[in-house]
Chain A
Amino acid sequence: MADLKITPIETDVLIIGGGIAGCMAAIKAAEEKSLRVTLVDKSNTMASGCAASGIDHIWSYIPPIHERMGYTIEDMAEDHRQGIAFGFLRNDLFYLIAETMYERILDLEKFGLNFRYKDSNVPGKFRIVSQFHSVPTSFNFDGKPLKLKLTHEAKRRGVNIINRVQMTDLITTNGQVSGAVGVGTRTGDIYFFRTKAVVLSSGRSNRLSRNPSGVDFNTRLPSPMSGDGTSMAIHAGLPIINIEFLSSRLLSACGNYCPNYGDPRNTVQPAARIVDGKGDVIVPRSEFYDWDQLGKEKFDPVETRRRWLEDRKTWRGGRATMPKRVAQGEGPFYLDFSEGTDDEIDYIAWSIKNEGKGTQFMRYFEGEEGLHLRKNSQEYAGWANRELAGTAAKGLWVDKDMETEIKNLYAAGDEVGGVPWAASPGAFTMGWHAGEMAAQRAKGQKEFLPVSDEKTKLRKEICSEILNRKRGFYWKEVEIYLQNLMDFYCGDVRGEGLLRRGLERLEYARNAPLKAENPHELSRSLEVKSIIDNAELVLRSSIERRESRPAFDYRRSDYPEQDDKNWLVFLAVRKEEDGGYRFTKIPIE
């Protein structure tokens, strides 16, 4: 095996992860013309992250609409806190998202994305639908080419995009970030960055559970997201919150396809409903908002919220009975569009094709099977793999300006914890803000700090060892072991005994000698190491949170009650320099 090359790169701002948040950070930071901005992505920014193949909706406070309604940002925050976050909401970050997302929409229009439609009767000619709040707050739009447009804009502004490099280590000097290390996924070469400021935006932690479809990478969220950012952060001694909220087994639309296009009251609104095998309705369809009434009705936010929460309780409650009924041998359940008009079905199909795996699902559904959304209901009770979903809002603890405890190290998007379903709006707005802050810091710092090459050398050793190992285990064997472990010892109901045994068996995985025959397998091996780090945090935090919290699918056999007195707090976990773990409870303001 050839000697792995070390490539040194000097940049003023380094952005780790080129999803929505990373691209937005890069675009904003590059407004500062005197700075060199480098964006590193494990895949290719044209098609990476949760928006790789598009997104079709973004929630936002929309002044031209909501002001006419009499709906305020405070109303929206209260909706979010009660209906979406179940109390676990960071107000400061919520306001950052809600207050600035509309400005970002106007930026996205300038980058070439279409948000306005001739047939719309909404002010601004937008398409606005209901999703997360008591009034419609989500833009529907042609978001399929989003990542392509963001990549073009970043390049136009002079951002240096480095694709196919997996970042593995953060380097600090006297408590300030000064560099980072990465590994080329196609070359195995080591990248040694020296920098003045970093934005960490590598997305969620995925692949923590076996995929019941048997097609391992057919996860709901993109399979390359292996929690590399969380892994780097924990090794840098930073606190991670909410990681114990790994979901129970989700019900996925459409058998085992996991297309991630939501359910009734979500992207497939309004015409979809869930029915059981006898045709009884579990979740009824909803209706489009009547925009002709905008501004004419007297708006009562408290009463509107009360009705909305009541409705959410009913349909969430209905949906929640499904796993139990399946376990008792009842079912099947279907996603049924038969009540939709032609216009509604066309609208839904357009929306689905703009988001996630929707286009590919429709190629399968319509193309390969010759089916039709309205005529052919889709089974709605396939099992999906468990995940750190939007509700969990797991991630780094940052200050209101996205800075971590390490000076000049910022985080954005799904890398940041504390706002359930921050999702794409979180990525757009936090990314933008983090990019701006990082650029300011880099501009204010004349010289680079001295950077130790210790971690670079160590990373090269680790990679060489994996590539040169004659006898060892293929990454996938260890990943399957780990996923089995999580599903058994850290399952839908958890208890301390099993969790502690899970930690013991995790140590065995950590010590597994990994071997790789080429750089691609090396990269997967490094991902498995990240997944092990993430899994360990889930196990440890699950031992620590001694209560049950059904809204987050979090259940302890030994602590079956919800305990708001002691546990209505963010639980932060961090690794100490001596290798031990420390927990802190962060009050929710």
Chain B
Amino acid sequence: MGFRHINFKEDACSGCNICVDVCMCDALAPNPVKGKPPIEMYPEECWFCGCCMTFCPQLEKGAIQIVTPFPMRGGFHKEKD
């Protein structure tokens, strides 16, 4: 499919790679440039547990965010306000 769904914010990410360490699917890889955000190597192999975000020490600064793939979205009913 070729989609990507993890957004790293380069100026917020410290490049600590804890997300790479904990990813159960091993979908991420460290950036060859030290201190830079990891690379999403295998976006089609994400289970969406969200551990990469949960463990991120820079989460509040928005260092990492999962953008839910489109085929998984929209399963809700939006009430009229």
Contact = CB atoms under 8 A, between A and B. Distances in A.
A356 B47 CA distance: 10
Nearest to B45: A217
Interface in A212-260: 213-219, 222-224, 254-257
Contact of B77 (A52, A377, A382, A520): A377
Interface stretch (A360-368, A539-547, A563-571): A360-368
A46 B19 CA distance: 11
Given A48-B24, A215-B69, A363-B66, A256 B49 contact: no
Nearest to B19: A47
Interface string B39-50: 001101111111
Interface in A139-163: 144
A223 B76 contact: no
Contact of A223 (B1, B47, B55): B47
B77 A378 contact: yes
B68 interface: yes
A359 interface: yes
Nearest to B75: A255
B46 A47 contact: no
B31 to A, nearest CB: 16
Contacts of A360: 48-50, 53, 66
A47 B49 contact: yes
A44 interface: yes
A52 B51 contact: yes
Interface in A315-370: 334, 356-357, 359-360, 363-365, 368-369
Interface in B40-81: 41-42, 44-51, 53-55, 66-69, 71-79
Nearest to A524: B45
A357 B67 CA distance: 14
A20 to B, nearest CB: 14
B39 to A, nearest CB: 13
Listed residue (A217, A357, A368) with the most chain B CB atoms within 10 angstroms of its CB: A217
A60 to B, nearest CB: 25
B22 A256 contact: no
B26 A185 contact: yes
A523 B67 CA distance: 27
B72 A223 contact: no
Contacts of A222: 24, 47, 49
B45 A223 contact: yes
B76 A376 contact: yes
Contacts, number: 121
Contacts of A53: 49-51, 54
B8 to A, nearest CB: 16
A575 interface: no
B11 interface: no
A222 B23 CA distance: 12
B44 A217 contact: yes
Nearest to A375: B79
A195 interface: no
Contact of A520 (B26, B67, B71, B72): B26
Contact of B22 (A47, A185, A375): A47
Contact of B50 (A186, A255, A363, A377): A363
A164 interface: yes
A169 B22 CA distance: 25
Contacts of A214: 1, 71
Interface in A552-583: none
Nearest to A356: B49
B44 A43 contact: no
Interface string A373-394: 0011111001000000000000
A106 interface: no
A219 B44 CA distance: 12
B10 interface: no
B76 A371 contact: yes
Interface string A40-60: 000110111000110000000
Contact of B72 (A255, A334, A356): A255
A216 B50 CA distance: 16
A224 B21 CA distance: 15
B70 to A, nearest CB: 9
A215 B71 contact: yes
B73 A255 contact: yes
A185 B26 CA distance: 9
Given A43-B26, A360-B53, A254 B48 contact: no
Contact of B75 (A47, A186, A257, A357): A257
A186 B26 contact: yes
B72 A215 contact: yes
B75 A216 contact: no
Given A215-B69, A360-B66, A378 B51 contact: no
B76 A47 contact: no
Contacts of B55: 46-47
B74 A255 contact: yes
A43 B24 contact: yes
A52 B71 contact: no
Contacts of B77: 334, 376-379
A216 to B, nearest CB: 6
Contacts of B48: 218, 257, 357, 360
B72 A218 contact: yes
Contact of A256 (B41, B75, B78): B75
19 contacts: A43-B24, A44-B23, A46-B55, A47-B51, A47-B55, A53-B49, A164-B26, A186-B26, A213-B72, A214-B71, A215-B69, A223-B47, A255-B73, A255-B75, A256-B72, A334-B77, A363-B50, A376-B76, A377-B77
Given A186-B26, A215-B44, 11 more contacts: A44-B24, A46-B55, A185-B26, A213-B71, A213-B72, A256-B72, A257-B48, A357-B47, A360-B48, A376-B77, A377-B76
